[in-house]
Amino acid sequence: MQKKNKTISLKTNSGSFELDVKEATVGPNVIDLKRLYSQTGLFTFDPSYSATASCESYITYIDGNEGILEYRGYPIEQLAELSTYLEVAYLLFNGELPSENSLEDFRANVKANMVIPQQTKKLFEGLDKDSHPMAMLTTAMASLSSIYHDEIDIKNHEDQKKFFFNVLGKTPILVASIFNHRNQTNIGQYHEELSYSENILSLFFGGNGEYKIDPVFAKALDILMILHADHEQNCSTSSVRLTGSSGTNPYASIAAGVAALWGPAHGGANEAVVKMFGEIGNKDNIPKYIAKAKDKNDRFRLMGFGHRVYKNFDPRATIIREECHKVLNAMENDDDPMFELAQELEQIALKDEYFIERNLYPNVDFYSGIIYQAMGIPKEMFTVMFALARTLGWATHWCEMQSQPSLKIGRPRQLYLGEQRRDYIAIDQR
Ligand code: CMC
């Protein structure tokens, strides 16, 4: 519940102004700057939005100093341990935990949408099997807007719900189609008795009818999906919100989120991390790469390290590191060289002044690839796996935003530093 507004005074050369302060349930309050320009003639300058709250939201809370992440108020540690991805999906979308019956209805609604249209199936034929899976996902997601458009009233709650279930049902099929298109294999079957994450494994690997789902992999995948489900106003979610604020097609908004996630500073980091481990090769080379990461003349960064918000630790990385142990132990591969290299790299970096001073810690992307790789998912697919899980967060934010009466088109301003000229001469006279 939002509390009563306070005010703050701002002194400028032209006078003193009162600005409202909006109070958060928990976490930093915000200064309401909506009237700043009309009152003072000034804009604010915050190019990467590191000090700007772009919206009001009830979905996810992060305390970066304390390493806290909560979905609808529940700590991520509890959800990862005790919940399932679909239960978390219900929670994010509805704001409350489900009863057994309501979860069953929810699951049936998702399942009813786990089929992709013929046009989308055909689309893959036109995509090179070696093109990047995130390029394929951006295209495939955007293509849904060519099918689901005319009948959607984005302000209608029932239509929002239809979109939510449709995108939650279809994304696993799109992602599994991409995986199988790359491998030129057949997509597996959906099985009624399997969980959402078990079905994802079945769709990926079950096409030849011989795949047996390992419960350790299924549990690990479900945990990864929960951890990646939402992260409040990150780059991709903000892209979905900004795109959606114009009233455009919701699938086109999600495609914008997929495109934003692809970059190595965001979800693309999980692929970049495993590439980096390969480049480092063995533990002896770690000091060389630490030195490169610290060298300001070198563009190399320690991938999977650092975060805009977390300045102590990323709670998701802690859970994933633990899950790596479980998965590799179950595979009797405790001394997996990549995992050993990753842990050694983490230990060395965490003792280094450069990383200590800048509060740089492993983030969600540092260890996740080790689990995906153990499951047989190649590194080029890692960011697609992230997108598969995050689609839930994107769709939830899109629905929240469309339901908010305060929604206006997003339109930042700028600090103009270019020329202003009055000496134009027609081309034939120059
Ligand atoms: N390796 C080396 N130095 C780093 C790193 C890194 N991974 N991350 C930040 N720094 C340094 C940076 O050079 C700067 O140093 P200085 O103050 O001397 O100029 C300082 O730390 C602050 O960095 P910043 O770039 O201003 O911080 P930011 O909040 O803008 O960037 C980040 C956050 C995640 C983009 C960045 O830490 C990074 O590039 N990390 C590697 C890529 C990565 O793992 N991305 C995944 C993020 S988590 C999942 C997700 O968002 O999807």
- Residue range 370-383, pLDDT digits in tens: 999 999 999 999 99
219 Cβ inside 6 Å of ligand 1: no
Catalytic residue among 132, 231, 266, 307: 307
What pLDDT does residue 14 have?
87
Q: Is residue 135 located within the same domain as residue 12?
A: no
Q: How many domains does the chain have?
A: 2
Q: Is residue 26 located within the same domain as residue 103?
A: no
Q: Is residue 334 located within the same domain as residue 292?
A: yes
Query: What CATH code is carried by the domain that includes residue 367?
Result: 1.10.580.10
What pLDDT does residue 5 have?
62
Is there a domain that residue 38 lies in? yes
Is 231 catalytic? The answer is: no
Q: Is a pLDDT exceeding 70 seen at residue 20?
A: yes
Q: Is residue 54 located within the same domain as residue 86?
A: no
Q: Is a pLDDT exceeding 80 seen at residue 1?
A: no
267 Cβ inside 6 Å of ligand 1: yes
DSSP state letters, 399-420: HHHHH-TT-----------S--
What's the rounded mean pLDDT across residues 82-101?
Answer: 98
Q: Is residue 288 located within the same domain as residue 390?
A: yes
Atom of ligand 1 nearest to the CA of 261: 52
Instruction: Out of 39, 63, 87, pick the residue that ends a domain.
Output: 63
Is there a domain that residue 375 lies in? yes
- CA of 306 from ligand 1 middle (Å) equals 5
Query: What CATH code is carried by the domain that includes residue 42?
Result: 2.20.28.60
Q: Is residue 261 located within the same domain as residue 404?
A: yes
Residues sharing a CB contact under 8 Å with residue 208, sequence separation 6 or more, in sequence order: 185, 186
Catalytic residue among 228, 230, 365, 397: 365
232 with 238: CB under 8 angstroms?
Answer: no
265 Cβ inside 6 Å of ligand 1: yes
With a pLDDT cut of 90, the percent of the chain lying above it is 97
401 Cβ inside 6 Å of ligand 1: no
Residues sharing a CB contact under 8 Å with residue 128, sequence separation 6 or more, in sequence order: none
Q: Is residue 144 located within the same domain as residue 235?
A: yes
Distance CA 144, CA 375 (A): 29
120 Cβ inside 6 Å of ligand 1: no
Distance CA 275, CA 417 (A): 39
pLDDT digits (tens, 9 = 90+) for 397-430: 999 999 999 899 999 999 999 999 999 999 999 9
- CA of 301 from ligand 1 middle (Å) equals 8
Is there a domain that residue 85 lies in? yes
pLDDT digits (tens, 9 = 90+) for 120-173: 999 999 999 999 999 999 999 999 999 999 999 999 999 999 999 999 999 999
What pLDDT does residue 25 have?
97
Is there a domain that residue 2 lies in? no
With a pLDDT cut of 70, the percent of the chain lying above it is 99
Closest residue by Cα to atom 15, ligand 1, is: 358
What's the rounded mean pLDDT across residues 356-364?
Answer: 96
Q: Is residue 55 located within the same domain as residue 178?
A: no
How would you label 303-324 residue by residue, b for 16+ Cβ within 10 Å and e otherwise?
Answer: bbbbbebbbebbbbbbbbbebb
Q: Is residue 104 located within the same domain as residue 49?
A: no
53 with 41: CB under 8 angstroms?
Answer: no
307 Cβ inside 6 Å of ligand 1: yes
Sign (positive or negative) of CA dihedral 228, 232, 234, 238: positive
Instruction: Out of 63, 89, 108, pick the residue that ends a domain.
Output: 63
Q: Is residue 127 located within the same domain as residue 266?
A: yes
Q: Is residue 156 located within the same domain as residue 48?
A: no
Is 128 catalytic? The answer is: no
pLDDT digits (tens, 9 = 90+) for 278-331: 999 999 999 999 999 999 999 999 999 999 999 999 999 999 999 999 999 999
Q: Is a pLDDT exceeding 70 seen at residue 4?
A: no
Instruction: Out of 44, 63, 82, pick the residue that ends a domain.
Output: 63
Is there a domain that residue 204 lies in? yes
Is there a domain that residue 48 lies in? yes
Q: Is a pLDDT exceeding 80 seen at residue 256?
A: yes
345 Cβ inside 6 Å of ligand 1: no
The SS3 of residue 346 is helix
- CA of 137 from ligand 1 middle (Å) equals 26
Is there a domain that residue 108 lies in? yes
The 3 state secondary structure assigned to 195-234 is: CHHHHHHHHHHHHHCCCCCCHHHHHHHHHHHHHHCCCCCC
- CA of 305 from ligand 1 middle (Å) equals 7
276 Cβ inside 6 Å of ligand 1: no
- CA of 57 from ligand 1 middle (Å) equals 26
- CA of 271 from ligand 1 middle (Å) equals 16
Distance CA 44, CA 24 (A): 21
56 with 73: CB under 8 angstroms?
Answer: no
What's the rounded mean pLDDT across residues 204-218?
Answer: 95
Domain that holds residue 39: 7-63
Q: Is residue 36 located within the same domain as residue 147?
A: no
Q: Is a pLDDT exceeding 70 seen at residue 257?
A: yes
Mean pLDDT of all residues belonging to the chain: 96
What pLDDT does residue 3 have?
52
What's the rounded mean pLDDT across residues 208-227?
Answer: 96
